[in-house]
Structure 1
């Protein structure tokens, strides 16, 4: 999500405005006593502070020892002392507010010395109010709200409402939108999605297409977080309309954000064909930077910040910039490689395309976390640098998780991928481990289930059911796996399977994921409670559903199952051959080989020996591809 950032370091951008001698003409202050001139110490101290901060921030991505960390903080402290020196002098209110804002921002982001920062900030806010310095006053209030939110979220939200009312009353549109998006961020961080939507609703009618665009994208993200991909799709459609109506130059961050969200929505719906189409749009939007001549892509900041613009209005005659923060380009590429790999697992795994995407994502992560020693290293605080590393380490764990799944799909049940994932999780921050833990349990359950350790698999799946909400997709998938184990020949615990099925039924009914609904229907089709005719009818309806889902593997599995269940030999034969052709059409060599063998057997049973021999010959050639697939090393 795009997190709004008030431009609290205006002093960096406005130094030219105060780079002159600030002094009042002598005024009588009694008999022959002039008023003392304002100090110009800031002309020296502001550039000095900037230099010290930049030097520290350039080192933040390559701190490898405690000595490096101490050196970093010495530079920060020296820069802060430069600002303190300014605040101790008699300076103009405008300059004092800038110094206070900059100083408090440094205390907040670098030292967490909230008490001192609050004292200085409150004094400066009062000074700005007395001198009608509205922009600086709101910048300091923005910082004050963010500081307060770390200790008391409700108090911060109360102060935020007051600031929003004031900005509206004096008609400063830029700060109205700044505070509205800060409200969105605070509610979003607290998982208060209803409040997020309520805050976003007025933005839908904003005169700025860019602001409306981002509002719809944020609403789509909220819908996805609430597992409502259909609603997300509606929001994204409205965002597309904003893009169509947009006459100014496009903002690449918004376009990339939209196509990624569209892909995620299609994935959550289990719509394979749509996922692939949207993934193509992601690739096209990223590849577009190569041909882009506008400079927007090359201006994509290393810290992920970008600007949206309000049209001219009460604030003046020029477009007014609003600053937001999203992913950097490298972070976008990592997430795109991850999503590309996930989408490609089912359709292109014979070419190992998904594995190549995952490998490329890991390569980018390794490069970005190696430490940048170049003079052009991105400027960021030590906290921002740590958050950046946490992002990449977490992304690495997700890539390794799906790498395990990709290997399992290929029939590679070695424990290497699982061990690599468990090792990577050790570097993940504690707050993220709680999110990854269920995924590790799930992938472990799959591994145990496939390698015959069924009791271990059941324990892993049961843990998932305990720690996640019952209606979460991972919990549902764990329950489905448990049902299959209980019905298997090694368990034959139909009573426990029936209990789980009854618990799952209402959850499946309310799910929007058609792939999960299909998997549920598949387990119900062969649960042993129906007659042969009922099973055959269900298989036929499932075959139609699989085709509607455009999921080639589902289609092949159902046709393969139908060939074993249908009573008429002619139908068994045609369905088995259909399974083979379905797998062949999607280049799924493993299922090609499995279905091809079944088709050959059915042809033999029908007395079609010549056709059967021909199919056996084809199967022999396919087996060579299967053997190569299962035993070849992953691409580098």
Structure 2
């Protein structure tokens, strides 16, 4: 929902207000609370008409009420906050603040609260009357804390009652800040902080961008008049984020102006922060020019970091640049990734030691780069290096299991004291060593290990041994051998871990929008686990498992309200087509493969992203599968096959993925065309397929290639070479684990033995072939739910 502005009560102090700020709650415990009178009446009941108006006036973000999972054991009803209307602060003495039990609430780390100081209000000894301003600010933080303490349990149920309670608390806290701005005379510094906090909450919790922009515009003017450079930059940073919600181009234009100003005044820390934000907006665009602009900003940051001696910043930019190139599809992208990783490693031994997250990320990117290169042995080497690095940093207390924020240290300059303060710590904070810290978001330790490797013991899981398994290890091992049970175990264990992790939480406090987003991310990871398990089962011809994983994937997406679109949709559709092709429902398979989703583009897209490349590659695979299905005698049209090959050849023959080249070579060696292919041409394609399968150590392709060669060149041939070929095909089919190909290979071996008069061996091989054929045909067609 969007915030339309609160209705003005009878006393007339309600007006429009400003946007949410990621500059969260600050310490607002009042000095005089310890000696507050105990004879004051208790807080009024939450049924007050004012509070009902406040709840609906601040437009909260709408959260879907679909049931992710049954409510967790943490009962949101355990917190029974009572609400007090801000207007009553001007009508009666302040109530006791103990009704929310603040000592049991954790503060959200993402938004600094309004920290009180002697300069912001009267001292305890001099105060004769309650300071209404500080009381309102303290109440606001109490409500925000109560809401954030409720969020972890709310995110698992998302019932209307729980969400309404959360929004009620946030709205009341905003009303307190609004009242402080409208009804109380604040000192300039305190007013600027309140406006920043008010706008930050609107930004984080609501869709009220207009109100937030108004608050920040007034706050920026106030900061300029009083020379509050730190708060001014923080407000400009937040205002840019708000503008980007509506118009990214306008936000970028404003951001360029802020960067120029920060560079002119040599406010180095803010130059870093603003340029990183500028690069992130450029990366959101699929335009090639924006990608180059993002890299230019990162390189400018690196140049400035070199001059300032900020090695940690240089490490960060190098890692981010590697990620940018990894998402690119150009032929030089892998080389550029390696160059960026090399630059990162030059700072890894000094700056990297204090930032374990970046050390781990460097290794993860290196593994991903090796997977794209398609060298299995190289991938395994990189995987072992990644595991060793993560083992070293596993117990580093800097990397928390639940905190997603990392601090990048920046050397302080003479101007740092004017531009970085406690109130700017949502973007730039001050470290224990006195240096500035650039605050960035990163995966926490639990999520990183869930998608990378062994689940070694950490923090609250020290009793576990390092045995379990996860996504990247599963992918690497399945790439080497699709039927490798070790890879499947990695995926199964990772799936189990993530399933449990999405039903329980040990986070004590958090913003509901952030927690909902993280929950959806975990749901997306669960979907990809299901996909990889489904493809692994298809490689073994276990079609029942394939169908079950597809059904579970769709169920998971529905439970987490995740749209099946983009690469996830493409992979799901392709796997569904593979299932129908495997169980013999060729009409259903053709219907999926010929869907418009798999239409090949007529021209190459210069702005293609890695996601576009995935969809393009699976469109090629769908076309190759269609080509093979059309070899069925009932569907065979030689001219159509020839036309499809003519379209696929220029794309597949020079494709950067060696396995796609191998698949195309196999198709060229087996598909009937008009005119028929010459024997030497077939030999050339089979030789290329065999070389490709050996280069990528692809067990499935080796199995198929050897069986095709045996059928093409040694059918009904007597001799030792023919027998060795049939035996090699049978052995390779056994290694593949695919029961259908084992049936085919043993059938050919039986005929080879029979031609050579080895009847006993022929009968034994024929019996094996029949058993495997019965196992393959026993899996009846069952539609995908």
Query: Scaled by the length of structure 2, what TM-score is found?
Result: 0.69
Matched, 1:82 2:176: yes
Query: By how many angstroms is 1:161 displaced?
Result: 0.6
Report the Cα distance in structure 2 between the residues aligned to 1:455 and 1:603, rounded to whole angstroms. Answer: 34
Report the Cα distance in structure 1 between the residues aligned to 2:391 and 2:733, rounded to whole angstroms. Answer: 31
Query: By how many angstroms is 1:133 displaced?
Result: 1.6
Matches within 5 A, 1:222-621: 222-228=324-330, 231-246=333-348, 247-248=350-351, 249-290=353-394, 292=395, 294-297=396-399, 299-302=400-403, 304-313=404-413, 315-316=415-416, 318-336=434-452, 337-347=470-480, 350=483, 352-372=485-505, 377-414=507-544, 415-429=547-561, 433-465=565-597, 469=601, 472-509=616-653, 511-528=655-672, 529-566=676-713, 569-580=719-730, 588=737, 593=742, 597=746, 600-601=749-750, 604=753, 607=756, 609=758, 613=761
Query: By how many angstroms is 1:130 displaced?
Result: 1.9
Q: Residue 416 and residue 73 in structure 1: after superposition, are their counterparts in 2 closer, same or farther (change >3 A)?
A: same
Report the Cα distance in structure 2 between the residues aligned to 1:311 and 1:583, rounded to whole angstroms. Answer: 61
CA contact (8 A) 2:481 2:699 kept: no
CA contact (8 A) 2:557 2:564 kept: no
SS in 2 for 1:426: helix
Q: Residue 537 and residue 114 in structure 1: after superposition, are their counterparts in 2 closer, same or farther (change >3 A)?
A: closer
Aligned position for 2:203 = 108
Query: By how many angstroms is 1:228 displaced?
Result: 4.0
User: Could you list the runs of 5+ residues in structure 2 that have no partner in the other structure?
Assistant: 1-19, 28-110, 417-432, 453-469, 605-615, 780-785
Report the Cα distance in structure 1 between the residues aligned to 2:411 and 2:331, rounded to whole angstroms. Answer: 32
Query: By how many angstroms is 1:383 displaced?
Result: 1.3
CA contact (8 A) 2:653 2:664 kept: no
CA contact (8 A) 1:197 1:219 kept: yes
Q: Residue 315 and residue 360 in structure 1: after superposition, are their counterparts in 2 closer, same or farther (change >3 A)?
A: farther
Deviations 1:412-453 (A, max 9, x none): 112333222233332354655354332222112111212222
Range that drifts further, 464-473 or 396-405? 464-473
CA contact (8 A) 1:53 1:79 kept: yes
Deviations 1:479-527 (A, max 9, x none): 1111111223442122222222222223225532121122112212223
CA contact (8 A) 1:129 1:137 kept: yes
Query: By how many angstroms is 1:128 displaced?
Result: 1.1
Report the Cα distance in structure 2 between the residues aligned to 1:123 and 1:407, rounded to whole angstroms. Answer: 60
Report the Cα distance in structure 2 between the residues aligned to 1:454 and 1:16, rounded to whole angstroms. Answer: 65
Report the Cα distance in structure 2 between the residues aligned to 1:438 and 1:551, rounded to whole angstroms. Answer: 23
Report the Cα distance in structure 2 between the residues aligned to 1:356 and 1:153, rounded to whole angstroms. Answer: 44
Aligned position for 2:246 = 151
Deviations 1:75-119 (A, max 9, x none): 112222332344343333222221111110111221222222111
Q: Residue 16 and residue 110 in structure 1: after superposition, are their counterparts in 2 closer, same or farther (change >3 A)?
A: closer
Report the Cα distance in structure 2 between the residues aligned to 1:172 and 1:499, rounded to whole angstroms. Answer: 63
Q: Residue 557 and residue 510 in structure 1: after superposition, are their counterparts in 2 closer, same or farther (change >3 A)?
A: closer
Q: Residue 266 and residue 493 in structure 1: after superposition, are their counterparts in 2 closer, same or farther (change >3 A)?
A: farther
Report the Cα distance in structure 2 between the residues aligned to 1:378 and 1:435, rounded to whole angstroms. Answer: 34
Aligned position for 2:226 = 131
Report the Cα distance in structure 1 between the residues aligned to 2:767 and 2:405, rounded to whole angstroms. Answer: 55
Range that drifts further, 53-62 or 176-185? 53-62
Report the Cα distance in structure 2 between the residues aligned to 1:53 and 1:103, rounded to whole angstroms. Answer: 11
Aligned position for 1:31 = none
Aligned position for 1:68 = 162
Q: Residue 87 and residue 608 in structure 1: after superposition, are their counterparts in 2 closer, same or farther (change >3 A)?
A: farther
SS in 1 for 2:510: coil
Q: Residue 280 and residue 618 in structure 1: after superposition, are their counterparts in 2 closer, same or farther (change >3 A)?
A: farther
CA contact (8 A) 1:301 1:328 kept: yes
Aligned pairs, how many? 606
Query: By how many angstroms is 1:215 displaced?
Result: 2.7
User: Could you list the runs of 5+ residues in structure 1 that have no partner in the other structure?
Assistant: 26-36, 632-636
* Structure that is richer in helix per residue: 1
Query: By how many angstroms is 1:387 displaced?
Result: 0.9
Report the Cα distance in structure 2 between the residues aligned to 1:60 and 1:380, rounded to whole angstroms. Answer: 6
SS in 2 for 1:308: strand
Report the Cα distance in structure 2 between the residues aligned to 1:276 and 1:230, rounded to whole angstroms. Answer: 23
Report the Cα distance in structure 2 between the residues aligned to 1:48 and 1:6, rounded to whole angstroms. Answer: 18
Q: CA RMSD in A?
A: 3.8
Query: By how many angstroms is 1:70 displaced?
Result: 1.4
Query: By how many angstroms is 1:135 displaced?
Result: 1.7
Q: Residue 212 and residue 409 in structure 1: after superposition, are their counterparts in 2 closer, same or farther (change >3 A)?
A: same
Report the Cα distance in structure 1 between the residues aligned to 2:153 and 2:631, rounded to whole angstroms. Answer: 54
Query: By how many angstroms is 1:601 displaced?
Result: 4.0
Q: Residue 582 and residue 296 in structure 1: after superposition, are their counterparts in 2 closer, same or farther (change >3 A)?
A: farther
Range that drifts further, 43-52 or 548-557? 43-52
Query: Scaled by the length of structure 1, what TM-score is found?
Result: 0.84
Matched, 1:8 2:20: no
CA contact (8 A) 1:300 1:306 kept: no
Query: By how many angstroms is 1:315 displaced?
Result: 4.8
